[in-house]
Amino acid sequence: MRCVQDLNDDSRFIEFYNLVFMQYNKNDDGSLEPLKQKNIDTGMGLERMARILQNVPNNYETDLIFPIMEKAASMALVSYSKADNAMRTNLKVIGDHMRAVVYLISDGVIPSNIGRGYVVRRLIRRVVRTGRLIGMRGDGHENSEGAFLPSLAETVISLSSEIDPDVESRRKSILGELQREELRFVQTLGRGEKLLDELLDEALGSAGDIGDKPCLSGKDVFLLYDTYGFPIEITAEIASERGVTIDMKGFDIEMENQRKQSQAAHNVIKLSVGNETEIIKSIPDTEFLGYESLFATAVVKGILINGNPVENVSEGTDVEILLDRTPFYAESGGQVGDNGFLYVYGEEGGKQNAVIEIKDVQKSLGNIFVHKGTIKQGSVEVGKKIDAAVDGKLRQGAKAHHTATHLLQSALKSVIGSETSQAGSLVAFDRLRFDFSFHRPLTEKELLEIESLVNQWISDATHLETNVMALQDAKNAGATAMFGEKYGEQVRVVEVPGVSMELCGGTHVSNTAEIRGFKIISEQGIASGVRRIEAVAGDAFVEYVCSRDNYMRHLCSSLKVKAEDVNSRVETIVEELRTARNEASSLRSKIAVLKAASLASKAVLVEPHNVRILVENMGDVDADGLKSAAEHLVGTLQDPAAVILGSSPGDGKVSLVAAFSPGVVKLGVQAGKFVGGIAKLCGGGGGGKPNFAQAGGRKPENLPDALEKARAEIVAALSSKAS
């Protein structure tokens, strides 16, 4: 089907509808394998239909995106109708990307350096770069230093309010995240601008030496683009103003190298199975019995060693066992796989022939459970009946932590806001880890409130309800789904009535009282806009509390105070230690000054400006003492004077300090630049102001040579200055 439109890219026809019949999967050898699920895909999207019905030349100028572009144009002080093609393209990028990032953040995808968060971050940065390129500055409300993304997002949210009310309800979170991300990126751009200036200076200087036309290398241009987010257009424009060209060919090579590395990093790694297709055909999906029982009788359907199928295996071998049915939970949804044992018996329940210790269970090749373990005794072969027994104590730990994770998410939404969402989790036998979207660290008060809520729900002894229902029915009931997870038509819903309702395939306690208790161990940031809580529940909670109580008993015994007095006693000790350290530092500085006073007579006079210079080794004086000594000496000697002191305070350290009087600085000799070069001889570096600078190093054996070089260079520098 075709629709006649003037779209510039084709003056006659544009395709707005097509059908794709997906029937086969093409294997690596080129053969075609029929798909289990055959599909029909169509290219007729909402934007294409709107474009036809609204009679506009492209998807961007429909009422789905054009209002965002108009807002951007007004903030850039341009008119879309009068803009050239380049400006229109930039406005289209802004309109398209802004709509995408608002919806993604609304769905819980927070900008970060990993996974889908990185996609959002790159989209946001492209909008910021493009907006600055066309002249957008400030927030559109007379704040020239503000962020402009929130103003654009307001337009997107208003367009979304009638079709997706969740976007409006998360307005505050969306605007806050965009503002933080833009201002953070603008700082990065500022550092990039500084680097660009330095690179242009180097290019101009190098060209002057060899007589060539100055050119910025492709490697440097790519560094600005990839690390600092500098658009190639801005780099080219600024370079052109300075009379410098850019090496586009070199840039393209660097870009292609990155693409290759990215593709290599994203290759899907398959399990090493000899003939995957044959195994899929011969072994059905594993029936999971673990919700109801920790024990089951099953049949060995396959044995793998290093990913390759074998018929039998003997004692001492690491294996992967495939069963027709199992009580073992396979790692998924953040919960680790069960541990336990497989027992192989002789005919008619005779003598035990083999014991396999299972240390992990994974899902592979569709829904086949792979039991990973070691043959501890005897041998096993395909077709044998086995008894599968899950370690009940470890399973109980996983159940307690998984249900606690659901309670934790509800508590977080209650305390810090419903806009926060899960960003990942780990449910282990002895702990839980929960990642969530939030823009700042939680306060001590908030953490205590979250803990209190979870423990209150645990003590309520509420029975959990588990149901399998249609996905849409679960969503209509208000069940929380993990963003990015794939769900089938039928889903398992785990509910703590009145507290939590989530789509979850994991194992859970039957009553919250089984969790026993909940304690947050730590809360920290792991990425931009993503926080992490680690906690313990169940037996792990009891062990944690007992161990901490034991530590407190020892501490009370050492400090000879009651538990309630430990804080005040520790604060007193810390304050006493701080006072003692300050007094010791003050004494060391006074000793250094007294020691330095005896050195003043060693100053030598350098012509033609009659500058007194003093370069000395102060032995083991620490950095603070060295600073005090230098300040005292440069004040004692008449202006103009230059003092350079070094010391080896121990532990393989070197300290250097340079103090120059105003008269020396006026001659063009600066302490900050001078001391850094000297410190390199001692394996270090440093710098500071023109009149005072400090440096350090890790090679005390080189200090005498460094000071000799300092003496020679300061004399040479001052002697060469014209009167």
508 is in an annotated binding site: yes
**CA dist 482 → 399, 528, 692 (Å):** 19, 20, 57
**CA dist 596 → 582, 628, 633, 642, 660 (Å):** 21, 9, 7, 14, 16
Pairing of strands 490-496, 500-503: antiparallel
411 and 378 in contact (C-beta within 8 Å)? no
Spatial neighbors of 575 by CB under 8 A, at least 6 apart, are none
3-state secondary structure of 684: coil
622 and 659 in contact (C-beta within 8 Å)? no
| Torsion from C-alpha of 337, 265, 482, 471, nearest 10 degrees | -90
Peptide bond into 608 cis (omega under 30): yes
Task: List, in sequence order, every residue forming a beta bridge with 465; answer none if it has no partner.
Answer: 495
Q: What's the token pair of residue 116?
A: 């889908």
Q: Beta strands of 218-294 (E only): which ranges? A: 245-246, 287-288
**CA dist 642 → 592, 656, 660, 661, 676 (Å):** 18, 14, 4, 6, 16
Task: List, in sequence order, every residue forming a beta bridge with 448; answer none if it has no partner.
Answer: none
609 is in an annotated binding site: no
**CA dist 422 → 110, 413, 655 (Å):** 10, 10, 49
- Give CA angle at 307 (302, 312), nearest 5°: 40
**CA dist 273 → 280, 320, 381 (Å):** 11, 11, 18
Q: What's the token pair of residue 91?
A: 């406005």
406 is in an annotated binding site: yes
Pairing of strands 352-364, 368-381: antiparallel
470 sits in which H/E element = strand 465-470
Work out the number of other CB atoms within 10 angstroms of the CB of residue 671: 27
DSSP states of 133-148: HTT--S-SSS-TTS-S
Residues marked as binding for Zn(2+)?
402, 406, 504, 508
Residues marked as binding?
402, 406, 504, 508
